[in-house]
Structure 1
Amino acid sequence: MFKINDFVINAKNGICQIKDEVELALTGEAKLYYLVVPVKDVNGKIYIPVDNASDRIRRVMTKKKANSVIDSITDIEELVIDNEKQRENIYKSVISACDPESLIAIIKHLVKRSREREAEGKKRTVLDERYCKLAQDSVYAELAFATGKDILSLADDLNQRIESSC
């Protein structure tokens, strides 16, 4: 159960704050919803049913957890994709799960894949570029928020750690 003013992560909207609990009859019968506001869009409003909120949001990681994730970046295994036809579905699944370690694993995979394509004289695919950016934006924003660090300098540090471990 979440409380008003908790900061949470939503796959589509990133870091959000729970502003209120409201009763609405959106589907006919009245249900309790969290009113969630994205940090990056204070005018945005998202209503999430209280009874299945944990399927759509999770708490922002603690500073201790964030530092642990940062320190373990070199130990996180890259994502392995055996079936090329499932590539985009796997990317979508990882992004929507919003798990920091899995997001780093996908970034590592995409960095390595980009290097391999470059070695073959090929460019990075639009698909790979899009999902790499989504994964980076998601995990870097949460790590910066949780640690209180500037996102740009943290992103530089994380990119160096990832590059050196691929």
Structure 2
Amino acid sequence: MFQKDDLVVYGRTGVCRVADIAEPDFCRNRPGERDKLYYVLSPLYQDGTIYAPVDNCKVPIRPILTAEEADDLVDGIPASRAQAYYGGSTQNLRDHYQTLLQTSDCRDLLELVISIYCKKTHVEETKRKFGAVDEHFMKQAEQLLGGELAAALDVPVGEMLDRIVEKLRTRKSTPAQELA
């Protein structure tokens, strides 16, 4: 069980602070909900409050990475073997990206960011247009990954995203990676 003030990743919302653990007012008048504890979550990078049942099984909730894990993940970007994914059809591409996003695992998110970055670089080099599906999922993955890494390392998100892009630029790719 998480404690008050812990930083957690809540599904695709991203990093949240556990503001409280309590029985919210809306539970008091519902049969079967009385005495049910909820995490009261405050997202770090968006407005609002989330009430998540402590015994929730539907939406993944986990602690954020440690600073050491975050540094290791970022430092490993240049050696990553992630490749651009083309998927054959827009729906296959969307499904592939959606699967990686749903895990809310930083390694999957990093793989997604690297994959789409490779694709974007290749598309720009060949003077073609970068796809809307790729752009949409890249923004989502960058927000989730950048937010968690920034929280773990206690730096602004923009600075973290700049660091990721810098590492991506130093990454060595092979022709097979660019054309996958």
Pick the TM interval, shorter chain: 0.7 to 0.9
Higher relative contact order (CA 8 A, sep 6+): 2
Distance 1:57 1:26, change over 3 A: farther
1:6 aligns with: 6
Distance 2:125 2:45 in 1: 38
Match for residue 117 of structure 2?
Answer: 111
Q: Give the CA deviation at 1:25.
A: 6.0
CA offset at residue 13 of structure 1?
2.1
Sequence identity percentage = 24
Q: Which residue of 2 aligns with 1:74?
A: 78
Picking from 56, 59, 68, the partner of 1:52 is 56
Structure 1 match to 2:16: 16
| Equivalent runs, 1:1-166 vs 2, <5 Å | 1-23=1-23, 24=27, 28-30=31-33, 31-41=36-46, 44-52=48-56, 55-78=59-82, 81=85, 83-85=87-89, 86-165=92-171, 166=173
Task: Give the deviation of 1:2 after TM superposition.
Answer: 1.1
| AA at the equivalent of 2:55 | D
By how many angstroms is 1:151 displaced? 2.8
Give the CA deviation at 1:157. 2.1
- TM-score (normalizing by structure 2): 0.79
List alignment gaps of at least 5 residues for structure 2.
174-180
How many residues matched? 165
- Which piece of structure 1 moves more, 59-68 or 69-78? 69-78
**TM-score normalised by structure 1 residue count:** 0.85
Report the 3-state secondary structure (helix = DSSP H, G, I; strand = E; otherwise coil) of the residue aligned with 1:48.
strand
**Greater displacement, 130-139 / 110-119:** 110-119
Structure 1 or 2, whichever has the larger Rg, is 2
What is the CA-CA distance between 1:6 and the residue it aligns to? 0.8
CA RMSD in angstroms, aligned pairs only: 2.4
**Residue pair 1:76, 1:101 contacting (<8 A) in 2 also:** no
Following TM superposition, by how much is the alpha carbon of 1:38 offset from its aligned partner in structure 2, in angstroms?
0.9
Post-superposition Cα deviations, 1:95-140, rounded to whole Å, max 9, x if no partner, equal 2222111111111111111233234432101110111111111111
Contact 1:103/1:135, CA 8 A, preserved across alignment:
yes
- Quote the Cα distance in structure 2 between the aligned partners of 1:25 and 1:53: 22
